[in-house]
Amino acid sequence: MTAMNHDQFAAYMLKLAQPAPAFVPTASYDADGDCIEFLIAPDPFYAERVDDLVTVYYSQDTHEIIGSLLKGVSGFCRHMSEKMPGFKIEILDGSVKLEHIFLAQLWATEAQPNSIKTLTYRKLIAIAEANEATATFACV
Partner 1 sequence: MEPSPPSRREFIQLDAVDPVSGKLFLVQISFERLQIVARRSMGQTREAGFIVPHVLQKPTAIFEGLRMDVDEDQRGVGWRCYCGIPQHSYRTDGTACPPYPRQVYLVFVNQDRIAYNWRWEKADPDEPNLPLNHQGRFKKRLI
Q: Which positions lie near partner 1, rule CB under 8 A?
A: 1-6, 9-14, 16-17, 20-21, 23-35, 37, 39, 42-49, 52-53, 57, 60-61, 69, 71-72, 75-76, 131-136
Minimum separation from the CB atom of position 46 to partner 1 (A): 4
Q: Which is nearer to partner 1, 29 or 102 (CB)?
A: 29
State phi, psi for 96 to the nearest 5 degrees: -135, 140
How many angstroms separate the CA atoms of 97 and 30, rounded? 16
Closer by beta carbon to partner 1, 55 or else 118: 55
Query: Quick one: 4 or 114, whose CB is closer to partner 1?
Result: 4
Which residue, 82, 115, 76, is CA-closest to 96? 76
* Cβ–Cβ < 8 Å for 34, 75: yes
Q: Tell me 58's DSSP state.
A: E
